[in-house]
Structure 1
Amino acid sequence: MKYLIAGLGNIGSEYELTRHNVGFLTLDRLADKEGLTFTPSRYADKAEFKFKGRQFHLIKPSTYMNLSGKAINYWLKELKIPKENLLVVVDDIALPFGNLRMRGKGSAAGHNGLKNIEQLTGGNNYARLKFGVGSDFHPGQQVDYVLSNFTQEQFDELPDKMDKAIEMVKGFGTIGISRTMNQFND
């Protein structure tokens, strides 16, 4: 069984540690734990590993957040991975910081990266792991908020939250989405 795990974010050092890049950060931590190196490839940096007989293909789209669907659609087809084996790790302002929620499908909720994935893969029927980044911003300040760095307190908590997200990624491929949601969702 093959799985495509896409962590969303923006390329470039100015975005590296922002809330919007929590998908990239989570996959970077997973790669570190598994001794993997991301290599530049078509539309994404890519790494892969095996876990409990499953093949996990990790991608960090290099298309910028709002065009993430281009990379995801390409790699689903290239690797011949069915859409039900796709998991997108994404920031979510509707969840308090550090809360994690996996869903089998759902609306883009105004997230342009998710909108683009829906457009290019033909619908919202794909799994996503929403990583709460909180909503501590004034009206009209959403873009500035998600493109700003985590607070120091959040940085200190981030490794534990990402480790839980990594367990959820592995659970998605091994015990399935329903059991993973029941076991881990906040």
Structure 2
Amino acid sequence: MSWLSRLLGSRPAPPDGGAPDAGGVDVRRLLVGLGNPGPDYVGTRHNAGFEAIERAADAAGIALDAEVGGRAGRSVVGEGLYRGHGLALAKPLTFMNRSGAAYAALLDRYGLDAADVLLVYDDLALPLGQVRLRGKGSAGGHNGVQSVIDALGTAEFPRLRIGLGDSFPPGGQVDYVLAPFDDGERAAADAALDLAAEAALAFAHDGLAAAMNQFNGR
């Protein structure tokens, strides 16, 4: 039995590889942003993944307007066509350290392999304003990414990291990521979030290698 069947129970994928219950859209790529749900976390640094997904959805003309998944793995999703191809975008409604359950439920819903899903999240190891695409890697201390690795049983999946920088005192990491961007950071943060949304959509249309060539180093 696969890791997905063990976690969620057996559910066959549709024979054509399309998305079950996806409103008639044959979803081929999925963008998942990490964050914490609820009004207390809106605009915080740790919700950069959510903000990037919202901007990508706006750019693609896809509304994030449906709630899917069971209690252990709920997400808000949007489904539609982007440049002629079926695309879904999602924000897990689990808290950050339980993101793996929502990620797994989304793979099950759409019948996709992890290679067709881009995980988008904040990263303290990157300077503010930078973004990086990778095909695999460690969690780097990020609890949401570690939860996805634990659910999959592998760290080999595409991800897009959004730099937060590390301008906090020793022991101040939690307060830093759970606070909003400072006024002096907001312009650089907005530029990075716009760039992340653009890079995520490039992954959706052109694939990981092409998106890496276009956006890494910018």
Paired with 1:165 and 1:59, the residues of 2 have a C-alpha distance of: 15
1:23-62 matches, within 5 Å, as 23-38=49-64, 39-42=66-69, 43-62=74-93
1:71 matched to which residue of 2? 102
SS of structure 2 residue aligned to 1:118: helix
After superposition, the CA RMSD in angstroms is 1.4
Paired with 2:56 and 2:201, the residues of 1 have a C-alpha distance of: 10
> How many residues were matched structurally?
186
Paired with 1:59 and 1:20, the residues of 2 have a C-alpha distance of: 16
Paired with 1:164 and 1:97, the residues of 2 have a C-alpha distance of: 12
1:177 alignment partner AA: L
2:55 alignment partner AA: R
Using structure 2 for the length normalisation, give the TM-score. 0.81
Return the offset for 1:30: 2.0
2:83 alignment partner AA: K
Larger relative helix fraction: 1
2:187 matched to which residue of 1? 156
> Does 2:130 align with 1:99?
yes
1:14-25 matches, within 5 Å, as 14-25=40-51
Point out where structure 1 has 5 or more consecutive residues left out of the alignment. Answer: none
Paired with 1:63 and 1:76, the residues of 2 have a C-alpha distance of: 15
Of the three residues 112, 123, 142, the one matched with 2:173 is 142
1:3 matched to which residue of 2? 29
SS of structure 2 residue aligned to 1:153: coil
Return the offset for 1:136: 0.6
1:153-177 Cα shifts (integer Å, max 9, x gaps): 2222333322211221121122221
Using structure 1 for the length normalisation, give the TM-score. 0.94
User: Which of 77-86 and 46-55 deviates more?
Assistant: 46-55
Paired with 1:35 and 1:178, the residues of 2 have a C-alpha distance of: 24
Paired with 2:49 and 2:80, the residues of 1 have a C-alpha distance of: 18
Paired with 1:169 and 1:62, the residues of 2 have a C-alpha distance of: 20
Paired with 1:165 and 1:24, the residues of 2 have a C-alpha distance of: 11
Of the three residues 190, 196, 202, the one matched with 1:171 is 202
Point out where structure 2 has 5 or more consecutive residues left out of the alignment. Answer: 1-26
8 Å CA contact 2:99, 2:148 repeated in 1: yes
SS of structure 2 residue aligned to 1:115: helix
1:52-96 Cα shifts (integer Å, max 9, x gaps): 232221110000111111001011011101111010000000000
Identity within the alignment, %: 39
2:33 alignment partner AA: G
